[in-house]
């Protein structure tokens, strides 16, 4: 069993070593790459391993075989057009998405289903042994904390590690101003509680993460969705118009690899955004959860890096990049720091001390940067392969995002397809997808789906993704049916 797993890891690593220079443009379209025998000899691996790696790259449509000529970097003609900029209503709305989101997330974590429904990384993307050793060291060195309450903002070593981590995002944070939380979502919730009251308007991307909408719903806040481009994020001109015409009390955004569409705001617009909120005195809650997954270094630079007035509240976690199971977040709340501390103390108190020490250990290890690079390479190969499958198997007229990092794809299907209906049809075959209506308070995006590719990725998942496309195609060709007919049952049959 171990030998089989090692062989699989070897061909994946080989594929990633070729995929990286293709994505970077070092290997150009149409350029010849080494033959199977040449690569096997130079890398000292078997021909079978090279063939598996090349097959993986072909599935991702990064390379192509030419008869009697060898392998070449593909021209990628299968790229689909990207979705258009969203066009949500200009008015704010009350939020009610909890029931659908709860059902999807419950099914997405059910081992009986093949899931693309959650945006959670699987354990095989991380070194479980490395995390286990860090937790064991923390327990051994700080065993006294197991039987005592802890107080304060969080363990000092972790707050220093987070401050060092923030330097990668262009931010100089004082460790004394960082507050450790139970998750990034808790950080965001505390920020919104600190700067809003029930009935207030919060501006955010459209589509946006359903969990953000659930937070607004629970806090009785209104969502004002801002038109958002799938590559460059929400429109700052539209946000400025919202500032001019509506009493916006806060902005909530994910400038890097927003969930669900994977957009990243250009660097100049990040600077402009920081200036806009400072001029209006409007707090910006910035989620930097995905910054370390961005392929380009400038996309990892936070809006907080341009903030000189304390109006940007920076929230993060390492659940997508270092250790999903530790479930710790953090926040630096700018001018609202003292208020946030009081809210945190009255809400959940402090965290588990030895887990904080374990995370500090992981963040300060020498291999942390190499781990980020490896994670980015692994998920990029997976996303490329999934994009190729979608291009080949989904209906004509499908649009698809091409994010520069992360493991989420947003698929805009032809308008004739109801993604909630597709969700139900897929469930009948034990496949979970996330319908687009989860990601907006407006009821829009009914023909869109989000695909999370952070879970396991094997032949069963590839076949399941093909099957989603086949089911979508069958919905396009299903004839008109009498009123009252169950279309889902008809499709399942």
Report the pLDDT value the prediction gives residue 16, as an integer from 0 to 100: 81
> Helix crossing, 2-24 with 47-59: angle to 10°?
50
Q: How much is the pLDDT for 485? A: 53
pTM, full prediction? 0.85
Task: Identify the pLDDT of residue 8.
Answer: 57
434/439 Cα distance (integer angstroms):
9
In a domain, 219, yes or no: yes
Q: What is the pLDDT of residue 351?
A: 84
Given a contact cutoff of 8 angstroms between Cβ atoms, the answer to whether 416 and 453 are in contact is: no
- Residue the block writes with tokens 């250990």: 361
Q: Are residues 280 and 350 in the same domain?
A: yes
Domain count across the chain: 3
Q: How many CA atoms lie within 13 A of 66 on its CB side?
A: 13
Residues 6+ apart with CB under 8 A from 161: 359, 360, 363, 364
pLDDT tens-digit map of 222-262: 999 999 999 999 999 999 999 999 999 999 999 999 999 99
Same domain, 143 and 113: no
Query: Do both 252 and 304 map to the same domain?
Result: yes
Does 292 share its domain with 180? yes
Is 186 strand, coil or helix?
Answer: helix
Domain range for 241 is 128-363
Neighbouring CB atoms inside 10 A of 346's CB total: 8
Q: Cβ atoms within 10 A of the Cβ of 4, count?
A: 8
**For residue 114, what is the domain's CATH number?**
3.90.1150.10
Q: Which CATH number fits the domain that encloses residue 63?
A: 1.10.10.10
**pLDDT, one tens digit for every residue, the chain (493 residues):** 334 445 557 887 888 888 878 876 678 777 889 999 999 999 999 999 999 889 888 877 788 888 878 898 876 545 688 998 999 988 988 888 778 888 898 998 899 999 999 888 888 889 889 999 999 998 888 887 777 777 778 999 999 999 999 999 999 999 999 999 999 999 999 999 999 999 999 999 999 999 999 999 999 999 999 999 999 999 999 999 999 999 999 999 999 999 999 999 999 999 999 999 999 999 999 999 999 999 888 899 999 999 999 999 999 999 999 998 888 999 999 999 999 999 998 888 888 888 999 999 999 998 898 889 888 888 888 898 899 899 999 999 999 999 989 999 999 999 999 999 999 999 999 999 999 999 999 989 999 999 999 988 999 999 999 999 999 999 988 765 555 555 666 566 5
pLDDT at 3: 47
Q: Which of 317, 332, 363 is the last residue of a domain?
A: 363
Residue 351 lies in a domain: yes
Report the distance separating Cα 260 and Cα 433, nearest Å: 12
Residue 205 phi, psi (nearest 5): -65, 160
Domain boundary among 363, 388, 422: 363
Distance of CA 308 to CAs 148, 213, 284, 332, 361, Å?
Answer: 39, 29, 13, 14, 31
Place of tokens 């291999």: 367
Please tell me the predicted confidence (pLDDT) of residue 332.
Answer: 98
H or E segment at 222?
A: strand 222-229
Q: Which residue, 185, 154, 322, 356, is CA-closest to 259? A: 185
| Residue 475 burial class via C-beta count within 10 angstroms: exposed 0-12, middle 13-18, buried 19 and up | buried
Same domain, 107 and 215: no
CATH number at residue 132: 3.40.640.10
Residues 115 and 132 in one domain: no
For residues 90 and 48, the answer to whether their CB atoms sit within 8 Å is: no
My answer on whether 178 and 147 are in the same domain is yes
Asked if residue 78 belongs to a domain, the reply is no
C-alpha–C-alpha distance, residues 481 and 489, integer Å: 12
Q: Does any domain span residue 80?
A: no
Phi-psi region of 334 (alpha: psi -120 to 50; beta: other; left: phi over 0): left
- Rounded to the nearest 10 degrees, what angle do helices 459-477 and 368-393 cross at? 30
Q: In angstroms, what CA-CA distances link 173 with 74, 279, 411?
A: 44, 22, 37
Unique residue bearing structure tokens 């990601």: 439
Confidence (pLDDT) at 122: 87
Output phi, psi for 384, to 5 deg.
Answer: -60, -45
């Amino acid at each position: 069993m171990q030998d089989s797993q090692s062989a699989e890891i070897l061909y994946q690593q080989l594929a990633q070593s070729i995929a990286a220079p293709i994505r970077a443009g070092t290997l150009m379209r149409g350029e010849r790459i080494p033959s199977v025998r040449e690569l096997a000899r130079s890398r000292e691996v078997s021909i079978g391993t090279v063939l598996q790696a090349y097959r993986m790259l072909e599935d991702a449509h990064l390379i192509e075989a030419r008869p009697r000529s060898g392998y070449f970097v593909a021209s990628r003609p299968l790229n689909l057009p990207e979705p258009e900029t969203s066009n949500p209503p200009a008015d704010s709305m009350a939020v009610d998405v909890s029931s659908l989101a709860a059902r999807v997330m419950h099914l997405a974590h059910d081992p009986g289903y093949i899931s693309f429904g959650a945006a959670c990384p699987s354990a095989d993307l991380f070194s479980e042994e490395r995390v286990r050793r860090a937790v064991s060291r923390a327990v051994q060195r700080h065993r006294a904390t197991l039987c005592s309450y802890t107080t304060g903002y969080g363990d000092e070593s972790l707050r220093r590690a987070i401050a060092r981590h923030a330097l990668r995002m262009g931010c100089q944070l004082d460790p004394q101003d960082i507050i450790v939380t139970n998750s990034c979502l808790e950080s965001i919730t505390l920020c919104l509680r600190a700067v809003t009251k029930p009935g207030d308007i919060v501006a955010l991307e459209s589509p946006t993460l359903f969990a953000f909408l659930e937070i607004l719903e629970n806090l009785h806040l209104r969502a004002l969705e801002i038109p958002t481009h799938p590559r460059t994020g929400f429109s700052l001109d539209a946000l400025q118009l919202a500032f001019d015409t509506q009493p916006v009390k806060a902005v909530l955004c994910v400038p890097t690899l927003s969930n669900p569409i994977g957009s990243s705001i250009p660097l100049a617009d990040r600077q402009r955004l920081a200036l806009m909120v400072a001029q209006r005195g409007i707090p910006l809650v910035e989620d930097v959860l995905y910054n370390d997954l961005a392929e380009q270094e400038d996309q990892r630079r936070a809006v907080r890096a341009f903030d000189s007035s304390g109006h940007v509240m920076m929230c993060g976690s390492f659940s997508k990049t270092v250790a999903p199971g530790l479930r710790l977040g953090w926040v630096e709340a700018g001018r609202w720091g003292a208020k946030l501390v009081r809210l945190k103390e009255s809400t959940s108190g402090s965290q588990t001390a030895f887990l904080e020490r374990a995370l500090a250990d992981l963040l300060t290890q020498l291999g942390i940067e190499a781990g980020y690079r490896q994670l980015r390479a692994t998920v990029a190969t997976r996303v490329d392969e999934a994009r190729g499958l979608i291009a080949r198997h989904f209906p004509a007229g499908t649009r698809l995002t091409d994010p520069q990092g992360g493991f989420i794809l947003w698929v805009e299907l032809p308008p004739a397809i109801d993604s909630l209906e597709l969700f139900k049809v897929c469930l009948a075959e034990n496949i979970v997808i996330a319908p687009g209506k989860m990601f907006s308070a407006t009821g829009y995006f009914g023909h869109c789906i989000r695909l999370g590719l952070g879970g396991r990725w094997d032949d069963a998942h590839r076949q399941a993704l093909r099957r989603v496309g086949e089911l979508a195609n069958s919905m396009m060709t299903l004839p008109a049916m009498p009123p009252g007919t169950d279309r889902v049952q008809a499709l399942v049959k």
